[in-house]
Amino acid sequence: MRLNNQIYLDYNATTPVLEEVIDYMLPYFKDQFANPASNHIPGWLVEENLQQARQLVGKTLDANEEEIVFFSGATEAINVGIIGFALKNAHKGKHIITCKTEHKAVLESCIYLERMGFSITYLDVNEHGAISFENLRDSITDNTILIALMLANNETGVVHPIDEWITSLSHLIGVTWFVDATQVVGKIPLSVKLCKADMIVFSGHKIYGPKGVGVMYKRANKNIQLSPLSYGGYTEQGLRAGTYNIPAILGMAKAVEMSASILTEEMPRIHQLRDYFEQAILKIGNIQINGFSELRIPNTSNITFEGIDNNHFLQKLKPLALSQGSACNALQTKGSHVLLAMGHTNKNTLSSVRVSLGRFTTSDDVEIAIKIFKDTIPKLRK
């Protein structure tokens, strides 16, 4: 896929909205624009569509519709899931466990809670980006109320076996599990019956849906109590304030359905393209693929090119639209906190790129990208 004459290789940052999703959303900007909270027929019809969207998302996750809560994005859902949970349950304990390689939405939520008197354990990762289960287990105390971990890392694609960890630690009745699955939905199968987390969040714009909408799955039988972080006109089980963004919610539900419907054929196609790309890039030499030895989502490669001048590195790769990590950190001069936690030097992190493939990535795109890397990296090393 070309975007502004560049080959787009940044699908982990965001995705284009599918034409089918746009068409599905359009009536809710024009003819079916009523507020679902309004007590009249147009409002009731939109309320019915809202509930159908909830059912559709729930069905895709093997969840019940009452367990699906809509937010303005994964970031808001993360804020409410972590901060809202901590504030509501502080009487049970004030210790939270997370990881150094989490998304900034999780890390900044934890930093805020530290200022509020909570104790946060930030788990280390090894050089491959993996968490030690023993370290996780040994970090749990009688004061621990929440474990907040991502299912797949947004920069390296490394997948943590959270379903196994939850099963192994199922005797810890007082501990709630919060999972950021933003980079998983639409890339690998996700079922709440297999991943037994108590809260799971993801975003619409990572799955070819609109920006400005996210989902929290909140397990019904755990009676999870959360404090709202916004006030005025309560919606979504009292956790949000304001009017529903109906076009975005329905568009996201449509995108979830479409992503699930083609996953069995799209996942191996992307996986094959990614592996072919990595095998070709490795031939350049003095290259490290971060997280290579770990289970990863099939579309993501994080590559460190050793021995190059990293000043304006991405500008030297102009024909390619890619990133050096999370889009949330794009304006920072310091290297990726994920790679730093994996033991990289700051210089190496700035000589690293994330390549993330997607639905519109073709084999021709990959071939062109390989050629650009092969032509550019030796010149930078000279």
Q: Specify the length of the chain in residues.
A: 382
- Integer Cα distance of 307 and 297 in angstroms: 28
Separation of alpha carbons 114 and 106, rounded Å: 12
Using CA atoms of 110, 85, 53, 66 in order, give the dihedral in degrees to the nearest 10: 160
List 99, 110, 195, 328, catalytic entry: 328
Task: Please give the Cα distance from 209 to 135 (Å, whole number).
Answer: 37
Tell me the C-alpha distance between 45 and 258, whole Å: 23
Q: How far apart are CA 212 and CA 194, in angstroms?
A: 28
Establish whether 110 is a catalytic residue: no
Q: Which amino acid, 199?
A: M
Q: Of 76, 74, 57, give the one whose Cα is nearest residue 66.
A: 57
Instruction: Calculate the CA 9 to chain-centre distance.
Output: 17
Helical (H) or strand (E) element with 179: strand 176-180
The set of residues, in sequence order, having a beta carbon less than 8 Å from that of 63 and lying 6+ positions away, is: 57, 192, 217
Tell me the three state secondary structure of residue 348: helix
Element at 150 (helix H, strand E)? strand 144-150
Q: Which two tokens stand for residue 40?
A: 């009249």
Q: Report how far residue 212's alpha carbon sits from residue 247's, in angstroms, rounded to the nearest whole number.
A: 10
Give me 225's structure tokens: 């109590």
Q: Which residues contact 281 (CB under 8 A, 6 or more apart)?
A: 287, 289, 301, 303, 370, 373
Residue pair 236/71 in contact by the 8 Å Cβ criterion: yes
| Catalytically active residues, by annotation | 328
